[in-house]
Amino acid sequence: MSKKEANVTRIAVLVSGGGSNLQSIIDKVHESDIAAEICCVISNKKQVYALDRAQLARISAVVVDSSAYTERKLFEQALLEELKQHQTDVIVMAGFMRVLSAEFIAHYTGRILNIHPSLLPEFTGLHTHQRALAAGKKTHGCSVHFASAELDGGPLIMRAEVSVLSDDNAESLAQRVLHQEHKIYPLCVQWLCEGKIKVHDNEVFYRDQKLVEPLTWQDETNYE
């Protein structure tokens, strides 16, 4: 591995599946909207398409197979070792289907982002679109937050809403939410790399101003 370039933020992206959010971040790095380098993509599962996306972009693609470890602690130790070898500064969880322990997160305090397909704190966990429809919600969406040891917990940074249509099913709703994910996640990654967002005592600061409520996506130009 080449020596780390001075002042270049190195991003590790953790994945478990297809990696469409990974692709949105790769694209923004290539377009220089995100002033950083993706140093590696690490999957806890073998043969997922996100690894192919990484290889196509000439990014180091690594598997740390969670099923090969009998204990969570051992898996996280192996994951940490890979992150250290790649000189990681920031961790971006993009469809990573593991909850990281508080001990792991302490190694990267304030430097781990996650995105979730609901308007948190509603509908943590899986099957968020079906649950939103079943609950009769009129709005649904996605949220970016700093990661914590709690499932889909941690201080919220930004949410993006979509209207729930009368003829929506889980698949159609998921597609519209995913479109919003691809807008807000690269932006929040960019902000973290630029130091525009920070977390202190479980509170988020944007441009050194404490957020009373998470930011709401409307138009990217509102946040330049």
Number of H helices, E strands in the chain: 6, 11
Query: With contact defined as beta carbons under 8 Å apart, do 47 and 21 qualify?
Result: no
Distance, in Å, from the CA atom of 151 to the CA atom of 154, rounded to the nearest integer, reads: 9
The string of DSSP letters for 44-63 reads SSSS-HHHHHHHHTT--EEE
Residue carrying the six token digits 């930011």: 215
Q: Which two tokens stand for residue 66?
A: 């969670």
Q: Which two tokens stand for residue 100?
A: 């990281």
Distance, in Å, from the CA atom of 22 to the CA atom of 49, rounded to the nearest integer, reads: 11
Ordered alpha helix ranges (H), 86-221: 102-105, 128-134, 170-194
Which residues are tagged catalytic? 116
